[in-house]
Structures are given as C-alpha cells and as structure tokens.
A and B are shown apart, each in its own frame.
Chain A
Amino acid sequence: MATDLLKGTLDLLILRTLTLERNHGLGIARRIEQVTKGTFDVKPGSLFPALHRLEEQGWVAAEWGESETRRRAKYYTLTKTGRKRVESETANWNRIALAMARAIEATS
C-alpha cells in the first residue's frame, strides 16, 4: 500500500539503502519495504522517477549489470557527492524529527 511520501523523504530512503551496497530498482524497493517493516511500499511510479532524478543530480550512478537471477538489470551506486548528500540529508531529517517530537510533546 502506498502512502504519500514527500519527495525528499523517498530520496533519503533510496540513498540510505544504497549506502551499504549497489542495487537495482526492484531490489531497492524490496529493501525499503523490508527495513521499514512494510510501512513504505514504494511503487515503481514513484521509485523510478526518484531514481532518475537522483541520477540526473549526480548523487547516484547507474550501470547495467547482471542480477542474482542472471537477468539484465540496471544497478545504482552512490557517488561520492551522493555520500555527502546522504550525510547532510540525514542530519537534516534528524533535526526536523527532533523538532517535531518536541513540538508534539509541548502541545500534548
């Protein structure tokens, strides 16, 4: 089930997924699903635009390779600038989350 994800949030999810290892589109979607325990079910209609945008901005690089099942697949890897982006976006996210938590606490 897809929930509306903010663009930036999806970007961050994808980038963080790729910090560990390179992956193809399907693999990234499955991983996000797994890691968030099913909360975020990323449909291809959101995933691929996000991936391509990230690629255009230079934070991931793509190349064709062979999947586990010996099929052709397009693999995405984090670039150096991508890694920096992950760090800054994560820090950003944490800051926002903290602020939100405080706000909620203060008003409950």
Chain B
Amino acid sequence: MGRVRSLFRNLFRKHDVERALDDELRAHVQMLVDEKVAAGIDEARAWREAHMELGGMDQAKECVRNARTGARLELVLQDVRYAFRTTMRAPVLATVVILTIALGIGANTAVFSVFNSVLLRPLPYQNEQQIVAVFERRINENGARSPLSAPDFLDWRKLAGSLDGVALYDTRQLSITNDGGAELVPGAYVTAGFFEVLRVRPKFGRTFVVADEDPGRQQVALVSYGTWQRRFGGDAAILGKLIYVNGAPVQVVGVLPDGFRYPFAADCDLFLPIRFSTDQRTFRGIHAFNGIARVRDGRTVEQAGAEMDVISRQIEHQHPDTNSGHIATLMPLREQLAGRLRPALLVLLGAVSLVILIACANVANLLLARATVRTREIAVRAALGCSRQRLIGQSLIESAVLATTGAVLGIALAWWGVAALRATFFSRLEFFGTAGLDTIAMDWRVLIFTLGWALASTLLFGISPALAGARIDLTEGLRSGGRGMTSADHHHFRSALVVIQVALSLILLTGAGLLGKSFLRLTSVNPGFQPEQVITATINVPGSKYRSTEQAAMFYDALIERVAALPGVRLVGVTDILPLTGNDNRTGVLIEGSVPRPGERRRMHPRLVSPGYLEAMGVRLLEGRMFAAADGSGKRHVAIISDAAARQYWPEGSPVGRRFATTVENAPWMEVIGVVGAVRNRALDQDATLDVYLPLRENPFRHAVTRVTLAIKTGNDDGALASSIRAAVGSIDRSVAVSEIRSMESHIADSTAPKWFNLVLLTLFAGIAIVLAAAGLYGTLAYIISQRTSEIGVRIALGAQRSEVLRIVMRRGLMLAIAGIGVGSAASLAVTQLMSKLLFGVHPRDPLIFSVIPLLLISVALIASYIPARRATRLDPMAALRGD
C-alpha cells in the first residue's frame, strides 16, 4: 500500500476509511472488555475501564487521522472550504476586494504591455538599434525638421563612412491596373540600399540596385509576400512578370519575405525604386524625401551623427545658397516611430500607477477593517485551542482565496484590455506613424510582476489579523467588541489610507478635467472651412498617361462636370492638398514691392484647386472674388491667398491686385484676386498655414498633379453617392483609381483621435479612482461607526438627536475628504505641469478645473459619508447598549 495510493484513499474514500477505523477501534475495545471480564471484572465496569484506557473513541480517532498521509492537505482543504464560507458571509467586501485586485492587475498589465510593445520593444530588424532615421535640422529656423533633398542624399551616400548604407523612402499609394480597373494599394518608393539598411533579403529575386534609379531603364518593382500570395496567387513565375503601376508597365524583380514589415505604414504591397526627376536631381532646394540609414557595426549613433555634422558643414560651405544652416541629423528609428506616442503613453503610465496605488490602499483598508471586526472570532478560536500556526494559516488561505479569484479575473481583464486597445485604437496606427507594431501582445513579465505584487499585498494585509490576534490577551478580545486590539494604530493607518486615496483621485480627476477642457477647446476650433455634409474622394490618375499639367487639368475639369450633375451634389471641386490629412507643400515667394528683412524667409503653402473647391469646402471669401472657369488659362496669372498670408506679407492695405511670385525658376508674377479665411491645414491645434490657392493649371511644379481630392458639398447625407462617383470617374477614364470616399468630418475626427483616446482613457481611470476612493471612504466610516456603536447608542439614549449623530459621522468623513483634497490639490499643481504638452488652449493650472474638481470630490465624499451615517442614526439604542 504505497503512500500515493494511501493519499488517494484517504482523500477520496474517506467514508470507507473512517468506517474501517471505527470497526477496528470497536473491536479493540471489545477485546479489552473480554480481557477484563476474563480477569473477573464485571461487564459494566469493564466497559468503562476499557473506554478510559482507549482514551476516548473520538480522541483516538483524531490521533489516527492526524497521522494519516494527506492529513495536512486535508486541513488545508478544510481551511479553504471555511474560507469560502466566511467570504460568502461578507459578499460585498469580498466582491470589492476581488474587483479591486482584478482591476489593478488587468489595467496595469494591459497598459504596460501596450507601452512595452510600442515604446520598448525592438523593431523587427536585425541589429535594429543601429538603424536611424535621417532628416535635416534647420539651424536658422529654430531647429525645425525638414525632409531631404536628392543631391544631399547622393553626396551622403558617397561620403558617409560611418554609415553602412543610407536610403530614401517615400510612402505613397500606387495604382495597379488590371482588367477590373485601377486600384490603389499602399506602396512606397525607395532608393537602392533601402532593404539593405534594414538587412532584409528578398525571398526570391533581387532588391533594387543603383541602376534601377536610371529613368531610361525598364521600371522594376518588388512585391510583398502577402501581395504575391493574394494578388498573384503565389505564382511561381512571378519574376519578370509585367504589371501596370500608375499606368506604366513595370517588371517584378523580387518578392520580399513573409514577415517583413515596412516601418512606415501598416501595409506596403509594392515597392518601386525612386527615380529622381531632373529638377529633384539638380535642385538642392527641393526637399521631398525621408531617409533612413544604418550605422556601421562598431560605431555608435552619436559617432555617426558627428560625422554627418561635419559632412553637412562641408556641403553647406560648397552650396551656401541652398544649404546654409542645414544639418543632417540622425535619430534611432525606433525613437522616431514611437516618439509621437511617448507623451500620451507617459500620461497613461502615470494614470495607471495612480489607480494601482488607490486600489492597493483600498484592498489594505478593507482587509484591515475586516480584521478588526473579526478579532473576537479569532480570540474565541484561539481560546478553543487553535494553534497560532493554524490561525495564521487560515487567514492566509482566506486572503489567498480572495487574491486568487481577483488574479484570475485580472488576467482575463488584462487579456481583454490588450485586445480592446489593439482593436479600437492601434488598428489606426498611421496616426502615430508607428506601423508595424500590430503585434501588441500581453507582456508576461508585467503580468507576473503585477500578480506577484498584488498577491503579496493581499496576503500581507490579510494575515495581519491572525498575526496580531495570536498575540493579544484573549480575555480582552473576548470582551465586548474586541475593542482593545491595537485599533488605534489601525485607525490612524486607515485614515491615512483614505486621505491618500482621495488625494490620488483628485490628481487623476484634475488631469482628466484638463484634458477634457482641452479637447473641447480643440473641437470647437474653427477649422476655417465647413465640413458638414462634405464628402471627399481621392482620385489618382496614372502619371504615364497624364504627363502634362494640361492633360491632368482637362481630366479633372471633365470629372467635376460629371460629378456636379449627380443628384444631391450642390458644389464640387478638387484640390491637391486636403486639410487635416497631414499633407503640405511649401514654396519660397517673392513679394513685389517688398524686400524681406534680414534672416526672414518668405514662404507660402501652395494649394492647387479647381473653381468651386473653396466654395464646396465653405471657405469664407473676405475680399475680392473666387476663381472662375477662365482663370488659369490665358495670359493673366491669378491666385487667391488666405488672410494669414495677407496679414503677413501685405500688412497695409488690401493685397487684391498686388503681385508675388514663387521662387521656382522662371515663375511668372501672380496677381492676387481674392482673400479667403485661413484654414488650419496641419492640425486643429496648430496655426493656420500661409496658404495660396492657385488654379490647377498654374502648377508651379514640373510634374503634373496626379493625385487630387474631390470635395463635394451634398444637399443631404446620401450614401449612394460613392458608387455614383466611381461610375463618373470610370465613365471618363477607367485607368483612374478612386479611393477613400469618406466624409470630411471623418478626416477631422481622425486628426483628433489621439487626443480623444487620451481623454477617454484618463476619464475612465479617473472614474475608477473616484469609485475606489468613495468605497474606501465609505468603508472607513462604516468601520468607525461599528466600533463606536455603543457610544452612539448611549448618545441616542441620552437624547441626542439623530441629526446630531448624522452630523458627527459626516463631519468625520468630510474631514478626511478635505485633508485628501488638500494634499491632492498641492500634488496636482505640480503634476499637471508635466501634462502641458498635451493641453490645448488650457493652462495646466486652470482655475476653473482646480475649483470644480475638488467640489465634485466633496460631493462624492458627502454621499459616501451619508449612507453609513444614516445607518448610524437608525441604530436601536437598546441593542447598541447591550453591546454587539
């Protein structure tokens, strides 16, 4: 009979085992009796003596039970059952503790996991810490960042020894034409060496070489693994196949490996080599590209950066007119990708930490409260002979039951939280430019850390009653209410906990309030146009077919005519740059009759528009007139400027009739014919750009405008418009791709989505914090009342009014709350300074918020105090006086 078999038998066949023991002992007694009777003792006495010798049937059985294998395990199981029973007796407290733990674990893990995935996890490239983003800093413009120009890049490619490769990239949508029509897919133009910088080898074929950048040769392309599978069916003969991109034939020369992620977009199906136009190649002033590079193994980013500094100054020296003050700057790629998210995530981190602290304080509070209430029970059990070890063990198990349930729930919550965050928010990663990070997963280390920490604190505070209880004077504990159990120390500790909770909640609420006000300010900003009932659609014409500005403009004119005839369309126009979509163009300008101040760089932001665009978008006309159909063709070159530009460059008098020219070579003088309201192009919380609107045919750039956005003011919210638009486009030219038909309002919402996300999360946390703090306050007050029941009973019996009792209790609660608010306000004043980067139009010490929030908390505290206070007034004085 092995130990293991005995264990099983003892646990699961208890009934049989017990019966056998009973039989054996009875048999033993019987034989004893026989012995005695045989020795002459009478039967009755024999029985008595036999039982006495046995030492009592039950005691004997107990001794055997204790010696059995699995006896200790059984004790534990017994304690667990007991723990469940006691937990069930106080369901509210148990639920609150469990939920608090679950919330702490879940929220903490979810947020930290996301934080870790996005900010801390290395990029999926070999030696990724050596990959840097390359951009230019303009010393003369306060270190403003700028994209790169081709000639500079070509020089760097030659000269930079500490870089093991530098490449440019330009993320764009490309249109692939097949029998069904043209379709826009996410793609990118990259220079040779791009994939080598990332240390990515193609699955088949080759990557780009410098020769591919030569415009005279057959255009080539690389496809992603997914595209190869989906679009080409995993065709083994993909290499050498011709596909039509942007209307021109392109030969596939390679397939990228599965699992490769383009760092700058959520997806990238197609890569083409960058072919610099003659302008781009010769004019150092045209900055159109972004760059990455790999720092040579063995060199640090700082060393490489220093070398780039030197090279930049060399180039500056050689080309002072275009490059003065331009310094090439390197930044680790990971930082560039995640950098925009950093402030938001830091706020999150702070919020989560505060919530955790509050949660812990709550758990501690509640468990201590429970401890003091059960002093008597523990005293009784100790008096009945329960060993100290067993008492502590039981307490431990009770806490463990709570902690484990909370932990299981917490893990589930964490799982769900990560999934929810990933789905609702991080699926639109483009907002943050942190593409390629969709593998956000729950971080096990964080989970284990949080779990361990939560369990530890629960167990610690859970066994304190047993630890203390085992030491107390038993008679003291058995007497009325067990008041004497160092409750004074506990009392202060718990009061301090409540004050801390209130303070922390205040900080969170203040933060949420500030963000809320900031968001309201943001959304009430006048964008400069009227987005209501405006539908937009992106139109992409193949550059190979529409080579000249005139060809493209003719297409757009025809399209506008067709679309204007559709039912429900009131106004329509096109533009090359839609506000709030992250696009921009910039050009230097010369103002007739005015000389720039020393160091002043005159710039405007050109927007090519058709007549009707400004009207469709509801941009207000302030002076002069809007474009007519005749503008742009013919000898007169006209333009409309925004009033921001007007005030900047023509501060006196009306700019209408005055002239200016772009700094592009051979640019004509343009006459201002109208002034319109400024439009916030970049973001609602950034200043309006100095816009100049030009007719489509006045395109100052050499290349035709192949991509425009159609803006349509509709008379009603008509969903069927989308298909009509596609039909209209297709009826003119089937090789033109239409994509992203959506409302202007959705563009605006997208631009404010990050702030919205922050606000929602912070408010959520603040809400949780308030609930927890209120629960803590309520619990503390309830406990105080229960401790002072007899005192309250006496007061009532002696004639105190119920209202007076109410006042006494509530005053206590209010004092705690006010103390918390005081501490919290002081802390908030310091903490909110850290948030100032996230605020718009709101001062970090906004007086309105700082006065409203404390009032809010006081009202919550009043309610939380009122409930237990009211119960105190309902006390039956006789029952109270009788003593628990």
Contacts and interface: CB of A to CB of B under 8 A. Distances in A.
Interface of A: 24-26, 43-46, 48-50, 52-53, 55-58, 61, 67, 69, 71-74
Interface in B63-80: 63-64, 66-69
Given A45-B59, A45-B60, A55 B31 contact: no
Contacts of A61: 1
Interface in B42-72: 53-55, 59-60, 63-64, 66-69
Contacts of A25: 24, 28
Contact of B68 (A24, A44, A52, A58): A52
A74 B64 contact: no
A48 B1 contact: no
Interface in B495-543: none
A34 to B, nearest CB: 13
Given A46-B63, A49-B64, A73 B55 contact: no
B63 A49 contact: yes
Contacts of A26: 28, 31-32, 35
A75 B2 CA distance: 19
B669 to A, nearest CB: 107
B61 to A, nearest CB: 9
Given A45-B63, A57-B3, 13 more contacts: A25-B24, A26-B32, A44-B25, A44-B53, A44-B54, A46-B63, A49-B63, A52-B67, A56-B1, A58-B2, A58-B3, A67-B31, A73-B31
B716 to A, nearest CB: 86
Contacts of A48: 21, 24-25, 28, 60, 63-64
Of B31, B34, B68, most buried by chain A (CB within 10 Å of CB) is B31
Query: Looking at chain B's contact residues, is the secondary structure mostly helix, strand, loop, or mixed?
Result: helix
A49 B65 CA distance: 8
Nearest to A67: B31
Interface in B11-38: 21, 23-25, 27-28, 30-32, 34-35
Nearest to B34: A69
Contacts of B69: 53, 56
A73 B26 CA distance: 9
Interface of B: 1-3, 6, 21, 23-25, 27-28, 30-32, 34-35, 53-55, 59-60, 63-64, 66-69
Nearest to A2: B55
B63 A74 contact: no
Residue of A55, A67, A74 with highest tally of chain B CB at under 10 A: A74
A24 B25 CA distance: 11
B5 to A, nearest CB: 9
A43 B64 contact: no
A37 B34 CA distance: 23
A49 B66 contact: yes
Nearest to B38: A69
B31 A24 contact: yes
A53 B67 contact: yes
14 contacts: A25-B24, A26-B35, A43-B53, A44-B25, A44-B55, A46-B63, A52-B21, A53-B69, A56-B3, A56-B69, A57-B1, A58-B2, A71-B30, A73-B27
Contacts of B31: 24, 26, 67, 69, 71, 73
B67 A44 contact: no
B28 A44 contact: yes
A71 B34 contact: yes
Contact of A72 (B27, B35, B66): B27
A53 to B, nearest CB: 5
A56 B59 contact: no
A25 B59 CA distance: 17
B97 to A, nearest CB: 40
Contacts of A44: 25, 28, 53-55, 60
Contacts of A43: 53, 55
A45 B55 CA distance: 7
Nearest to A55: B1
A74 B3 contact: no
A99 B63 CA distance: 33
Contacts of A67: 31
Contacts of B1: 55-58, 61
A53 B10 CA distance: 12
Contacts of A57: 1, 3
B74 to A, nearest CB: 14
A44 B1 CA distance: 22
Contact of A56 (B21, B60, B68): B68
Contacts of B54: 44
A71 to B, nearest CB: 5
A26 B32 CA distance: 8
B386 to A, nearest CB: 20
Contacts of B21: 48, 52
A72 B35 CA distance: 14
A80 B64 CA distance: 24
B49 to A, nearest CB: 13
B43 to A, nearest CB: 14
A98 B717 CA distance: 105
Contacts of B64: 48-49, 52
B24 to A, nearest CB: 5
A43 B53 CA distance: 7
Contacts of B55: 43-45
Interface centre among A44, A46, A61, A67, by most B CB within 10 Å?
A44
Contacts of A45: 55, 59-60, 63
B353 to A, nearest CB: 53
Contacts of A52: 21, 64, 67-68
Contacts of A53: 67-69
Nearest to A29: B28
B72 to A, nearest CB: 14
Contacts of B35: 26
A46 B53 CA distance: 12
A24 B3 CA distance: 22
Contacts of B2: 58
A50 B23 CA distance: 17
Nearest to B35: A26
A55 B25 CA distance: 16
Contacts of B60: 44-45, 48
Q: Which 6 residue pairs spanning A and B have beta carbons closest together?
A: A49-B67, A56-B6, A74-B24, A45-B63, A26-B31, A45-B55
Contacts of B32: 26
A71 B54 CA distance: 18
A93 B464 CA distance: 45
Contacts of B66: 49
Centre residue among A50, A52, A74 by max chain B CB count within 10 A = A52
A52 B34 CA distance: 24
Nearest to A57: B3
B609 to A, nearest CB: 93
